[in-house]
């Protein structure tokens, strides 16, 4: 086994241990005043990209199934067996497996979701490549994530530095890094929306409508991508060079 493979295996084992040990704590966050409000904003942002999505649907990194249940996603895969127990009770058909090596044939799903998961995987490029492999030719990939340039990412990184069991294992990526990874996976960005423009806090968030396009200050963005050779909007001159705003 190579040194790189060994490091990756250790990372995956650590993530499994964390989510197996703290599955109840992770799931309970969604019931907290802040968690409920953040979840509603993130769900609304993702739902704004939901038009014309095909089935069957899969969530990679399904966790305890909160998003899958709310969005009507049928299948979920995760490396943590403990969180899958929660997802199964929420009616999701679950499979234990890694996003870097999905246990599904090519072109199996009409829509695939990866929501707040890329920051917890050892090889995000490989996860996106696998998502592309099992996505049908006319299918769509929906990503939901917190980007590195967001003040919320800095807020969560500080939590990780202070010892938070989840965020100390998180890696945040910039929008430019994300675009490169998506392109390398053979996919093209179709639409983007942003939400959570409020300053980082642990108090409940007020509701706000998601905004079309990418905003660097947003606490959460959702990206819709597909295999079709569509002209990416970020090449059309509608992006700010400082990557603070981009209209798709």
Q: Is the pLDDT of residue 238 over 90?
A: no
Tell me the mean pLDDT in the region 98-120: 97
Q: What is the pLDDT of residue 210?
A: 97
pLDDT for residue 1: 32
Range of the domain at 179: 3-246
pLDDT range class, residue 82, cuts 50, 70, 90 = very high
pLDDT tens column, 189-207: 999 999 999 999 999 999 9
Name the pLDDT band for 4 (thresholds 50, 70, 90): very low
Per the structure, how many domains does the chain have?
A: 1
- Interatomic CA distance for residues 169 and 75, integer angstroms: 25
Q: Rounded to an integer, what distance in angstroms lies between the CA atom of residue 143 and that of residue 175? A: 12
DSSP label at residue 120: G
- pLDDT for 50 equals 93
CB atoms within 10 A of CB 101: 10
How far from chain centre, in Å, is Cα 37? 18
CATH code for the domain of 108: 3.40.50.150
Ranges of beta strands (E only) in the chain are 57-60, 75-78, 93-96, 109-115, 135-145, 188-195, 211-212, 214-215, 220-226, 245-246
Question: What's the CA dihedral at 199, 202, 204, 205 to 10 degrees?
Answer: 20
Per-residue pLDDT band for 241 (boundaries 50, 70, 90) equals very low
pLDDT per residue over 48-62, tens digit each?
999 889 999 999 999
Q: Within its chain, how far is the Cα of 213 from the centroid?
A: 17
Higher pLDDT pick, 187 / 10:
187
Please state, in angstroms and rounded to a whole number, the distance separating the CA atoms of residues 183 and 173.
15
Per-residue pLDDT band for 228 (boundaries 50, 70, 90) equals low
């Amino acid at each position: 086994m190579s040194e790189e493979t060994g490091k990756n295996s250790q990372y995956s084992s650590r993530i499994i241990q964390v989510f197996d040990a703290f599955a109840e704590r992770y799931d309970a966050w969604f019931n907290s005043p802040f968690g409920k409000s953040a979840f509603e904003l993130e769900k609304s942002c993702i739902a704004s990209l939901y038009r014309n999505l095909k089935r069957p649907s899969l969530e990679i990194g399904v966790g305890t199934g909160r998003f899958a249940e709310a969005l009507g996603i049928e299948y979920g895969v995760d490396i943590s067996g403990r969180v899958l127990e929660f997802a199964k009770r929420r009616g999701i058909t679950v499979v234990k497996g890694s996003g870097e090596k999905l246990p599904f044939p090519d072109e199996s799903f009409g829509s695939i979701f990866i929501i707040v998961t890329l920051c917890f995987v050892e090889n995000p490029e490989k996860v996106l490549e696998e998502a592309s492999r099992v996505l049908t030719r006319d299918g769509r990939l929906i990503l939901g994530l917190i980007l590195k340039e967001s003040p919320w990412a800095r807020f969560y990184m500080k939590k990780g530095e202070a010892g938070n069991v989840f965020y100390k294992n998180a890696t945040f990526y910039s929008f430019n890094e994300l675009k490169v990874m998506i392109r390398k996976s053979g996919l093209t960005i179709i639409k983007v929306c942003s939400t959570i423009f409020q300053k980082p806090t642990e108090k409940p968030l007020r509701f706000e409508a998601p905004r079309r396009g990418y905003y660097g200050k947003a606490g959460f963005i959702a990206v819709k991508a597909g295999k079709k050779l569509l002209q990416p909007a970020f090449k059309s001159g509608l992006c700010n060079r400082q990557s603070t705003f981009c209209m798709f």
